[in-house]
């Protein structure tokens, strides 16, 4: 079964997505955060897991609404178990959506794929 993990990020601070993940977010070799600045996103404002992509997008958009956040990331994940501890966890499957406000005040979603880390 596929689930959708969503995270809404503030505009302050620094978060280099490649530093905290084993795969880099990319869109044809370009950083999906845009503007050439991989540290433009801040700390998480809200996050959650749901079994429906539309619900994940709606929850993220509602959290972004009050102006507390600048972007949202949704990733498709599957349930798994951590090897050493057998604790339940979620594993990314390689596709996600980046949501940002447009000039007209709507959230536009752009799909991205995770590249495997060579090595």
DSSP state of 27: B
pLDDT digits (tens, 9 = 90+) for 27-86: 333 344 444 344 455 788 899 999 999 999 999 999 987 677 889 999 999 999 998 899
pLDDT of 29: 36
* 89, 8, 74, 23 alpha-carbon torsion, rounded to 10°: -70
Backbone angle region of 45, left / alpha / beta, with phi > 0 → left and psi within -120 to 50 → alpha: alpha
């Amino acid at each position: 079964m596929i689930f959708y993990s969503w995270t809404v990020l503030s505009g302050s601070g620094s978060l280099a997505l490649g530093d905290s993940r084993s795969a880099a977010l990319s869109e044809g070799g370009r950083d999906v955060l845009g503007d050439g600045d991989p540290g433009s996103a801040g700390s998480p404002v809200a996050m959650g897991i749901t079994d429906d992509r539309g619900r994940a997008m709606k929850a993220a958009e509602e959290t972004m609404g009050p102006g507390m956040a600048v972007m949202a990331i949704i990733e498709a994940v599957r349930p798994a178990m951590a090897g050493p501890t057998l604790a339940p966890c979620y594993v990314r499957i390689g596709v996600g959506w980046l949501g940002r406000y447009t000039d007209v005040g709507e959230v536009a979603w752009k799909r991205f794929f995770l590249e495997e880390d060579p090595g």
